[in-house]
Amino acid sequence: MRIALVHYNVNRIANEPGNKTVMKHFGHMPNIQLLYVAAILEKLQVEIAYYDMIGMHIDETELAARLKRFEPDMIALSVYTSHFHQANSFAVFFKTLLPRVKILFGGVHMAIFPLETLQHSPYVDYGCVGEAEMVLPEFIRRLEANESLEGLAGMVWRDGEQIRYAGPAPKNLHLDDTPFPARHLVPNEVYFNFISTYRNYTVFNSSRGCPYPCIFCESAQTQWRARSAENVVAEFEQCYEQHGIREVDIFDSSFTVEKQRVLEICRLLIAKGLHKKMVWNVRSTLKMMNEELLEALREAGCYRIFYGVESGNEEILKGLRKPVKLERAERIIKKTVDVGISAFGYFLIGAPGETRETARQTIDFAKRLPLDFAIFNTLVAFPETALYKQHYLPHVQTDFWADYLTQPKAVTDFMGRPWTEMDDKEMSLMCHKAMNEFYFRPVQLWRALRSVRSFDQIKRYSHAGVDMLLDYMIKKIGQ
């Protein structure tokens, strides 16, 4: 069997939280989920072709030529609900190009809308619902043996005019058994994020799920499972020795859920000397961080921590189900910087109960913290989140995200925020104002310059700064 995996470029839609200017300069990161799929398929002796349209500089004409040469039996895409229409347009493109090819959708979207996806996407043949390693081995075996997919958990498929679904796959409780992502298929030297320091660069998952109840996150209170410290460090080692990786970006919802595992990872990285060869960063809740962990992380080569601070108002934080005292947030971030780790803060504007006064408190609080970097985003209610179920649906007449699948025009329709009286235009302007207030201060410019390690970084920061100013001025004029 021959399967092509396509990491396609996505266009911005109305209902996404990111600041447009930030997203323009965000960088390009490998699709780690799709690279896991590639590794699993290679283990099954499937012939793979992998196309990262941005990283490999492949436009649709070149993609078509490569696909025709490869002649795949199947093409697989990883899909998010917000980019469903774009993924669907690629499915149409592939079927028009290769009428006999089968199309497989996977990713977070399929777990939310398994049946609806095939109902509204006549060009999609299969959907993988759940973790690929729990579905693909039996799926491929049955396809190659020409056997029925009946009863195959984690698979939705077409059976003549019928759409069949055997239910979600069980979760993988033994993550160490999953092969490392197939990074040999991609140009690791081209990847970066907007504040990364070194290349080659990659992203990394050391756990899945999240035990915390944040109302805006689709992963909230999902079963948390972690790889062993030995397995995590083995992937670090492979990244360095086989792919020349010098910077690792760990994208776990929270890396510090289990203290002893973190300490053991740090100990092993130091024991193998990897702390002198690579740098890495993590995401953590403020609740779980302490001085012992910070010291261990710094010694092991961790040079940046991303914190979800979210708000400068404790009542807003309680509503978000992130009941962290502002005093603790300030103390932990200060300690992070004091031990020699760069601190990055995520902030939200537009939470339930948000007012102009509470938004202003958030901006002022961010400016008071010794953060090297910060992002201010407007809050969006994604499907399956508590924010969507409890604060959006009770106040509107329709299920926006379910309707979105049938309405391509919804890409440009704003869904609204019935939980706050602030309108989107005002919140968007406030986010831009926050970014400008935060970054264009002498102390902040010095912090940014202090972190520069290459001419590439200087160019990125300069271009982003100019665009931030221009974008804010345009919005202000149009107000």
Nearest residue to 157 (alpha-carbon basis) of 204, 191, 106: 106
Nearest residue to 163 (alpha-carbon basis) of 149, 173, 183, 176: 149
- Helix (H) or strand (E) holding 377, with range, is strand 373-378
Residue type, 265: I
Do residues 351 and 379 touch, judged by C-beta distance below 8 A?
Answer: yes
Nearest residue to 334 (alpha-carbon basis) of 362, 371, 361, 306: 371
Strands (E), 333-458: 342-349, 373-378
Nearest residue to 6 (alpha-carbon basis) of 46, 51, 39: 51
Q: Structure tokens of 41?
A: 């398929």
Instruction: Describe the strand order of the beta sheet including 126-128 as a list of residue ranges.
Output: 47-52, 2-7, 74-78, 102-106, 126-128, 155-159, 162-165
Count other C-beta atoms under 10 Å from residue 412's C-beta: 9
Instruction: Give 258's contacts (C-beta < 8 A, 6+ positions apart).
Output: 226
Low-confidence residues of the chain: pLDDT under 70: 17-26, 408-411, 451-479
Per-position DSSP letters for 324-353, written without gaps between them: --HHHHHHHHHHHHHTT-EEEEEEEES-TT
Dihedral sign of CA atoms 352, 354, 358, 364 in order? positive
Going by the DSSP 8-state scheme, the letter that residue 440 receives in this structure is S
**What's the rounded Cα separation, in Å, for the pair 316 and 351?**
7
Count other C-beta atoms under 10 Å from residue 19's C-beta: 21
Matching residue, tokens 């221009």: 470
Distance of CA 257 to the CA centre of its chain: 18
Residue type, 404: Y
Interior angle at CA 366, CA 468 and CA 309, nearest 5 = 110
Q: What's the pLDDT score for residue 64?
A: 98
Phi-psi region of 103 (alpha: psi -120 to 50; beta: other; left: phi over 0): beta
Do residues 262 and 228 touch, judged by C-beta distance below 8 A?
Answer: no
Question: Mind listing the domains of the chain with CATH numbers?
Answer: 2-165 (3.40.50.280), 187-379+417-477 (3.20.20.70)
Q: Structure tokens of 363?
A: 């901006």
Instruction: Give 454's contacts (C-beta < 8 A, 6+ positions apart).
Output: 197, 198
**What's the rounded Cα separation, in Å, for the pair 42 and 40?**
5
Instruction: Describe the strand order of the beta sheet including 201-204 as a list of residue ranges.
Output: 201-204, 247-250, 279-284, 302-310, 342-349, 373-378
374: three-class secondary structure by DSSP: strand
Interior angle at CA 207, CA 206 and CA 212, nearest 5 = 135
Q: Structure tokens of 428?
A: 């968007």
